[in-house]
Amino acid sequence: MASAPSSTPSARPADHAGDVHLPDTARDLVKILVAGPFGVGKTTLIDSVSEIRPLHTEEHLSEASADVDDLAGVRDKATTTVAIDFGRISLPGGVVLYLFGTPGQERFRSLWDDIAYGALGALVLVDSRRLDASFDVLGLVEDSGLPYAVAFNAFPDAPRHYGEERLRRALDLEAGTPMVTCDARDANSSIDALLALVDHLIARDPAEAR
């Protein structure tokens, strides 16, 4: 499967303890959703790239949620996002991405329209160990009309034998939808995935992107 182009050093996030103010070079401010099913790594990705201290609305999983949160494949997960994650990253060329991580569970679906309002696109994280968990989120993104890219988070035990075309068919993706792999724990890898989305947005509508 293709990977996104390598990120440049100037695209790397600053220390979380750094200046919270926008850089002087900021010219284009873009809202991006980081979407995906429960436990796919959205919070981790935003943590890895944000140049400011990320905002999280996480709560510990409780016995009350055991019947509604499917822990298959994510048994070690102890917390979940209940509203949004938020981070910010400045890219070369004066582009600043505001990253909004969305909850992955069906019971938070009522938040979707509010969180998605004003977004230019979405990066959808997928776990290849449980592809079916991504169907509802992909449906939400497509129903909203948002252009998106798919990034397979490279979990250590993820299957390696799936080919790109097989994965694309399994997710019913259009031919032009970018599909890359990333490691949500790694800043450069996560930035590469975001750059794949930004390139897709520019290619779709250069005038709007400008």
Say which DSSP state 8 is in.
P
In this prediction the pTM is: 0.80
Q: Is the pLDDT of residue 63 over 60?
A: no
How many of the other CB atoms lie within 10 Å of CB of 9?
Answer: 7
Q: What is the pLDDT of residue 15?
A: 58
Q: Is the pLDDT of residue 205 over 80?
A: no
Q: What is the pLDDT of residue 121?
A: 97
Mean pLDDT, the chain, as a whole number?
82
**The dihedral sign for the CA sequence 95, 100, 101, 106:** negative
SS3 85: strand
CB-based burial of residue 24 (10 Å sphere; 0-12 exposed, 13-18 middle, 19+ buried)? exposed
Q: Is the pLDDT of residue 3 over 60?
A: no
Q: What is the pLDDT of residue 105?
A: 62
What the block records as the tokens of 196 is 């794949």
Q: Where are the alpha helices (DSSP H) in 104-162?
A: 112-116, 135-144
pLDDT digits (tens, 9 = 90+) for 22-50: 878 888 999 999 999 988 999 999 999 99
Judge contact between 187 and 48, C-beta under 8 A: yes
